[in-house]
C-alpha cells in the first residue's frame, strides 16, 4: 500500500480519490457520443401560441475541447421554434400540436429566422419558412432549400448579390415532440452537451 505523499502517490491523495484523466476523457467522449436525450424547452402555449409564430430558444452547447482548467463547453445552440398546423381530429392541450425546430439563423444570410414568414403548405406542399431578409425558402420538416435567393425586391436583390456565391445550404431541422401536457421537447444533435 502506497503511503500518502510517497513517490508512488505524489499527490498525497488516497488512490480511490485520484482521477485518471485519460479514463475521464474517454468516459466523457462516450457520454457525448451515446447521449440520446430530449431537451424540454417550454410549453407550446407560452412559446408559440399561434400557428406560424416563431420563437428563439437556447438548448444545448457544442462540445468544446480541453482547456487550461479541464473540459470546456463550446457555444450555446440557438434554435427557432415554429408552430405548425395542428393535426386534424385531435382535441385537448398538447394533443396534435406540431412544432418545428430549425437553426436560429438563415443559412444564406444569417438573418434571425424568428422574423421568418411561415406558409402552411397544403395540397401536398410542405410547411415552409421564408427568410424575411433574403427570401430563401426552407422546408420545415427536412431543412431543404426550396427557393434560393429570389431577388424579388430591392432588399432581397442586395442579399442575393452578397450571398449567391455561397450556394444553397440545408437548415438543421431537429426532431420535436409535444407532450400531452403541452411541453415541447427537442432531440438535440449528437455530441451536444446538455445543461
Could you please report the per-residue DSSP string of 11-61?
T-S-GGG---HHHHHHHHHHHHHH---EEEEEEHHHH--STT-EEEEEEEE
Q: What is the mean pLDDT of the chain?
A: 81
- Domain borders along the chain are 38-187
Between vectors from CA 34 to CA 28 and to CA 37, what angle results, nearest 5°? 105
Task: Give strand pairing partners of 67.
Answer: 70
- Per-residue pLDDT for 34 more than 80? no
136-185 per-position pLDDT tens digit: 999 999 999 999 999 999 999 999 999 989 899 999 999 998 888 889 98
Between the alpha carbon of residue 138 and those of residues 88, 147, 159, 172, the distances in Å are 24, 7, 16, 10
Question: Which range scores top for mean pLDDT: 13-27, 54-68, 73-87, 131-145?
Answer: 131-145
Give phi and psi for 133, each to the nearest 5: -90, -60
pLDDT bin (cut points 50, 70, 90) of residue 28 is low
> For residues 15 and 173, which has the higher predicted lDDT (pLDDT)?
173
Location of C-alpha cell 470546456: 72
Q: Which tops the pLDDT comparison, 192 or 20?
A: 192
Architecture of the domain made up of 38-187: 3-layer Sandwich (2.102)
Specify the DSSP element, H or E, that contains 162. Answer: helix 154-163
| Contacts (Cβ under 8 Å, ≥6 apart) of 29 | none
Q: Which pLDDT belongs to residue 61?
A: 85
| Residues 80 and 56 sit within 8 Å (Cβ to Cβ) | yes
Q: What's the pLDDT at 172?
A: 92
**Segment of 43-47, 66-70, 74-78, 151-155 carrying the highest mean pLDDT:** 151-155
At residue 38, the pLDDT reads: 83
Q: What is the pLDDT of residue 4?
A: 45
- pLDDT of 85 over the 80 cut: yes
Any residues with CB less than 8 A from the CB of 45 and at least 6 apart, and which?
Answer: 93, 182
What is the rounded average pLDDT of the residues 130-140? 96
**Residue 176 contacts by C-beta under 8 Å, 6 or more apart in sequence?**
81, 99, 100, 101, 184, 185, 186, 187
Dump pLDDT digits (tens) for 88-127: 655 555 557 899 999 999 999 999 999 999 999 888 899 9
C-alpha grid cell, residue 35: 447521449
Taking the C-alpha atoms of residue 140 and residue 137, their distance in angstroms, rounded to an integer, is 9
Amino acid at each position: 500500500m502506497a503511503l500518502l505523499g510517497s513517490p508512488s502517490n505524489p499527490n498525497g491523495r488516497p488512490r480511490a480519490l485520484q482521477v485518471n484523466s485519460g479514463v475521464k476523457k474517454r468516459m466523457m467522449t462516450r457520454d457525448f457520443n451515446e447521449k440520446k436525450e430530449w431537451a424540454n424547452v417550454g410549453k407550446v402555449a407560452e412559446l408559440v401560441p399561434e400557428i406560424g409564430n416563431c420563437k428563439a430558444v437556447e438548448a444545448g452547447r457544442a462540445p468544446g475541447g480541453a482547456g487550461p482548467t479541464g473540459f470546456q463547453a463550446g457555444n450555446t445552440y440557438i434554435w427557432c421554434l415554429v408552430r405548425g398546423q395542428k393535426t386534424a381530429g385531435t382535441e385537448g392541450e398538447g394533443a396534435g400540436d406540431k412544432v418545428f425546430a430549425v437553426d436560429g439563423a438563415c443559412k444564406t444570410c444569417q438573418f434571425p429566422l424568428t422574423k421568418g414568414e411561415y406558409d402552411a403548405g397544403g395540397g401536398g406542399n410542405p410547411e415552409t419558412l421564408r427568410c424575411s431578409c433574403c427570401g430563401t425558402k426552407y422546408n420545415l420538416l427536412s431543412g431543404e432549400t426550396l427557393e434560393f435567393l429570389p431577388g424579388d425586391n430591392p432588399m432581397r436583390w442586395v442579399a442575393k448579390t452578397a450571398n449567391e456565391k455561397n450556394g444553397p445550404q440545408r437548415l438543421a431541422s431537429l426532431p420535436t415532440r409535444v407532450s400531452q401536457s403541452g411541453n415541447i421537447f427537442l432531440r438535440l444533435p449528437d455530441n451536444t452537451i446538455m445543461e
